[in-house]
Amino acid sequence: MRTKHDPTLKYMANIVDFGEHSNNEILRTVLPRTEFSYSDKLLIFDHFVKLHPLAVIPPDIRTCRAFLEWVARGMTGRIEETPTVETI
């Protein structure tokens, strides 16, 4: 699995509470550089789905938000230890 971040993928063992995420859609434009990295993210997303039985495919908004939280918790950076949807 390719990733620009820590290759140990520390976030693989994190479990996310789906009750903290709604299904309300937020519309934003996808940047071209984001589209380029989708294949890597899909591999990571497949692992997320295995760990979270409430995750649905195709992903709804709640699944996407939970996935973003799960990834953010495992990344090293400036995001607080307990990220929220608004800080990601």
Q: End-to-end distance of the chain based on CA atoms, in angstroms? A: 23
Flag whether pLDDT at 80 surpasses 80: no
- Which pLDDT value is given to residue 33? 77
- pTM higher than the cut 0.85: no
pLDDT digits (tens, 9 = 90+) for 5-56: 555 566 667 788 888 888 888 788 878 777 777 777 788 889 999 999 999 9
DSSP string, 11-57: GGG----GGG--------PPPHHHHHTHHHHHHHHHHHHHH-TT--S
Instruction: In whole angstroms, give the CA distance from residue 33 to residue 51.
Output: 28
The residue that leads in pLDDT, 75 or 11, is 75
